[in-house]
Structures are given as C-alpha cells and as structure tokens.
Amino acid sequence: MKPKVTLVQIIWSSLMYKYLGILFILISSDLAAQEIPDYKGEYVFTNSRVSMQGIRELITHNDEGERTIQFNAKFPLGRIKIISDFSETDNRIISTKYYVDVKWTLISDKRTLNFDQASGILTSKGKFEWSQGLIENENVFDPLNVQIQIRKNVIAGLMEFSLMLPDLKTGAIEANNYKVIDNGNFEVDGTNYSCIIVERIRLQDDRTTRYFLAPDLDYLIIKVEDQDQDGDTMLELKKLY
C-alpha cells in the first residue's frame, strides 16, 4: 500500500520548489592568471519561510584541474545536495555536470545538467527536460561555478561584466550582467570583513542579487542578498573550516 501524500505536504512541496530556484542561484572569479583556492565553510540560507544550515566547499581533485563546488544542507524533514563538477584548463572554467538532489518527506526532486563539450550540447534531466546547443567560443556556467568566475573577474579589476547561464526551466542560455556597485562590511565568526559588493539584475525575473566578496579571504563570497517580488532571501557564511 502506497503512503498517502497529504495536502500539507503538497503545499510545502510547492513552496520548496519555488525557493529552491532562488537557492540554486544563491547557493549560486589579469583573468587567466587568477587561481581560487579550495575552501570549506558553514553557510545559512534563510527567507520568510525556510531556514537551512549547510556546508559549502570547493575541492580540487587532481593536477589536471578537475574541481567540484558543492553545498550540502539539512532542514526539517529533508535535505538538499547541490554539486557542480567542472575543470579549469589554462585557468578557464569548463562546466561538466550540475546535479541537484532534494528530499523532503515523501517528495524527491533530482535534476542534472550535462555539459557535453565535445558535441556542444547541454541537456537537462529530471524535473525539467530539454536539450540546448552550447554557444561556440563562449563559456556557459552553472549556478555554482559562475561564482568562481565572479571572484576571478573582481580580482582582475573588472567593474562590469557579463556571464552566460542557462535558464534551468527552459534551457535558454542568457547573459547575466554584473556590476561592482559599492563597498561594505560583514561579520563572520566574530571578525568584521571589508567587502566589495557586486550586483546582478535580471530584468526578466524582476530580481536583484548582491554578492559580498571579502578581499581578505581571497575574495570569497561571504554573503548573498536576493530580492524579488516575493521578498528577501539571504545566504551567509557563519564560519570557515
């Protein structure tokens, strides 16, 4: 006998899908000379309905430049895992695979983006299924590894730049525009860090995202603010390991 899915579970599932879209973006850098070191940190994701604490880390697997950035978190009655596999060749980020695995009570959501660089095809499996041609001679990032490129660009002194990302629902590859707008501060584990604030505006989503990069931590993104018509969402570093 199959377990019944209650109305409350359906409602919460709908809310989780909505805010997972925001989390994927949050939970979310001279150019060819910049190297971003590995790190491991505890982050907290919050909005008006959901709060979760998890570990995000950047891992280098070998001398060939194969790397992974991942986020693992738990929340009431569920968990989430987001993984981005990519490589750096001549310090150029090449996306390989982006994987999301969410479990909440009886609800399971798995999604995968496969970047087939040899054939020039990007495919999505899971909740949204589509196939899209990659852009020739153009890097296409995923929601996690793009944050490495943001850091590289700010280190290089760029004040404005554009990076290509796929729409997770439709597969359309779109330019995302970024701009250094201000300086600020944010406290992590008792230490106050000066930050460079980078803003991204997506007019098609009526969404504004601000990234706080700490120069004293190799320009690590230690805070993200996301604002849209549904309210504010935060991703904040609590401590480094």
Interstrand relation of 220-228 and 231-240 (parallel, antiparallel or unpaired): antiparallel
Strand partners, 208: 201, 227
More confident residue, 108 or 93: 93
H or E, element range at 24: helix 7-26
Domains and CATH numbers, the chain: 7-240 (2.50.20)
Q: How much is the pLDDT for 204?
A: 67
CB of 217 closer than 8 Å to CB of 239: no
The proportion of the chain whose per-residue pLDDT surpasses 70, expressed as a percent, equals: 85
Number of other residues whose CB lies within 10 A of the CB of residue 77? 12
* Beta-sheet pairing, 231-240 with 160-166: unpaired
pLDDT in tens, 9-19: 544 455 555 55
SS3 call for 146: helix
pLDDT of the residue at 22? 59
Enumerate residues 6+ apart whose C-beta is below 8 A from 57.
Answer: 38, 39, 40, 41, 69, 70
The Cβ of residue 34 has, within 10 Å, a number of other Cβ atoms equal to: 18
- Tell me the mean pLDDT in the region 30-50: 80
pLDDT for res 35: 81
Q: What percent of the chain has pLDDT over 90?
A: 66
Q: What is the spatial distance between Cα 133 and Cα 19, in angstroms, rounded to a whole number?
A: 28
**What are the structure tokens assigned to 220, written together?**
């690590």
Q: How confident is the model at residue 104 (pLDDT cuts 50, 70, 90)?
A: confident
Q: Which residue has the tokens 């153009």?
A: 138
